[in-house]
Structure 1
Amino acid sequence: MQLPIDPLTISRLIAAGRIAIGVTAFARPTVGGAAFRSGQLPPEGVDGWRLAGARDIALGVGVFMAGRRAPGRMRGWVEAGALADAMDVVAFASSPGLRTAARVGGAAVAAGAAAVGVLAAREITRD
């Protein structure tokens, strides 16, 4: 299956979204509290939310930095992001403390990002 949009463009869009979500999760981890059944992020979850945010910032910035050197170098970063998104599917789906809508919705968004990331990476020619 081919993407209906340039793989470099979609990779950059995913990277930009990843950075935005990562900055929010890192700087304001309690914002994610609404996803929990209690309506608040448990205190022990703050560090995990920040770690996930830092991961997403690093992956997103990596795509942009690699693309500045040569577009084909983005491929490895896009693949790493797709792998992280696939792991997020598992994390969302297996988190009983999340509201059902957050569990299902988070897993669905992560699965979509992982699938698009895999397709985009396959179409990026290595330099």
Structure 2
Amino acid sequence: MDFIEVTGIRCYGYTGYLPEEQVLGQWFEVDLILGVELKNAGISDNLEDTSDYRQAIAIVKDYIQTTKVALIEKLTEMIAQEILTLPKINQVRIRLTKLAPPIPDFGGQITIDITRTNY
């Protein structure tokens, strides 16, 4: 299987366990690895022979900007399932990062990393 990597999708969203996270929001960053057969596109040079990754980016942005759930695990799963409905996508790996989680005395980030397949 071949892969298309899309990195650094940043969006402001309202997912979080704390009530203020769903009101005030915060920044998220997403990296995608899309499992797609690329041989035909490499030969034909036609967009129809690959997956238009702009659609995957739009899905990520829409879900982050409009979904209010408690867990980033849930948000990540929702995005994965929607991306798997796109033409030619056989697998997706998503790394969704909460860039500034509201945890006292913690300056790091929290990342959920999942891989889902269409099999």
Query: TM-score per shorter chain, which class?
Result: 0.3 to 0.5
Comparing both structures, which one devotes a greater share of its residues to strand? Answer: 2
Comparing both structures, which one devotes a greater share of its residues to helix? Answer: 1
Tell me the TM-score normalized by structure 1. Answer: 0.31
Tell me the TM-score normalized by structure 2. Answer: 0.32
